[in-house]
């Protein structure tokens, strides 16, 4: 028991001022952790808004599609047929444009164990990073019914925010959105 005590020494508040703190154990020898007895551990993590914008401020909500945006949507639509959506039937395709001009494609890949799947946007991001690209100029996403926008999920928005600024054009069927407008306060360390 003393080895266990040495490991935990310093994590429990000792209000008595004595150095020899007795661990609170129940009659069977299990550790009792009453509310308020664990010390807060200092850390250096800080969260911040990557966009630096207040909600509803700064970036435009949506811009109209132009010819270049429509062409990228067609690429995303064409790759969508390769999606593996055996369980939901909801196929998604993404076309991510690297700063180099290279277009990286991704599709959603489902799995019987749902958390093991991946969205099209993150699949395209993985392909790009694997190829050595880490700066991007636009992404087009197509999924579901034709003509309906397929907004990226929160995880994909956050994954894109890791590599892209709030001005990244996110091209959907109904217009072009800035990433910062879809995720105004992304998490960053």
Q: Which of 74, 121, 148, 167 is catalytic?
A: 121
Which of 69, 75, 186 has the alpha carbon at shortest distance from 138?
Answer: 69
Which of 108, 106, 88 has the alpha carbon at shortest distance from 98?
Answer: 106
> 79: number of CA atoms within 13 Å, CB side?
24
Given CA atoms 71, 72, 74, 78 in this order, what sign does their dihedral have? positive
Classify residue 93 by its DSSP letter: E
Instruction: Look up 54 and say whether it is catalytic.
Output: no
From residue 15, give the alpha-carbon distance in Å to each of 30, 37, 132: 21, 10, 55
With a CB cutoff of 8 Å and minimum separation 6, the contacts of 96 are 103, 104, 105, 106, 121, 124, 125, 127, 128, 136, 138, 139
Residues with a known catalytic role: 121
């Amino acid at each position: 028991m003393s080895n266990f005590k040495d490991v935990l020494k310093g994590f429990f508040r000792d209000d008595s001022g004595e150095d020899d703190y007795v661990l609170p154990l129940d009659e069977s020898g299990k550790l009792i952790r009453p509310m308020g007895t664990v010390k807060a551990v200092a850390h250096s993590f800080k969260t911040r808004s990557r966009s630096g914008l207040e909600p509803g401020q700064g970036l435009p909500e949506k811009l109209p599609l132009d010819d270049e945006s429509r062409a990228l949507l067609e690429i995303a639509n064409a790759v969508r047929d390769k999606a593996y959506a055996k369980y939901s039937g909801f196929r998604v395709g993404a076309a991510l444009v690297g700063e180099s001009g290279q277009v990286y494609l991704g599709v959603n890949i489902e799995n019987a164990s749902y958390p093991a799947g991946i969205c099209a946007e993150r699949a395209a991001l993985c392909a790009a990073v694997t190829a050595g690209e880490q700066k991007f100029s636009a992404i087009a996403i197509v999924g579901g019914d034709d003509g309906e926008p397929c907004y990226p999920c929160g995880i994909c928005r956050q994954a894109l925010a890791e590599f892209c600024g709030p001005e990244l054009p996110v091209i959907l069927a109904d217009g072009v959105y800035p990433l910062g407008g879809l995720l105004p306060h992304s998490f960053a360390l």
